[in-house]
Amino acid sequence: MAAVPQIEGLTTQDFLDYARRSPPLLKYLPEEKDWVHMDKHWLCDVLYTLDPEGVQRMVNGAREVRKEKLEESRNLGVFMRPEFFEALNACMTFSSK
């Protein structure tokens, strides 16, 4: 992974917890007692090499949560009339720009 965003849900501890939930990943990491000063970039590279889909889901999920929080805090939500919403959902193709 070239770079992991510095956002909530993507800390070194979050990645270590992810690895802890998947025992096959643990055999590629140092012993747990040595996790105190784990380098995040190295850890992400190892985990992404072993489980790219899982790590990408984790990153995408954290980014989505961050986006929702920002939209809510900045009042960026766009409200539309229900009939317009239904028409948009019924469209097969539309531009999001």
Instruction: Report pLDDT digits (tens) over 21-46.
Output: 999 999 999 998 888 888 889 999 99
Average pLDDT over residues 9-20: 92
Residue 32 belongs to a domain: yes
Say what the pTM is.
0.66
Between residues 89 and 83, the one the model is more confident about: 83
Three-state DSSP at 39 gives: coil
In percent, how much of the chain has pLDDT > 70? 89
Q: Residue 61: which domain range?
A: 12-90
Residue 7 belongs to a domain: no
Residue 5 belongs to a domain: no
Number of domains in the chain: 1
Could you say which DSSP state residue 11 is in?
S
**Maximum distance among all Cα pairs of the chain, rounded to whole angstroms:** 58
Per-residue model confidence (pLDDT) at position 33: 87
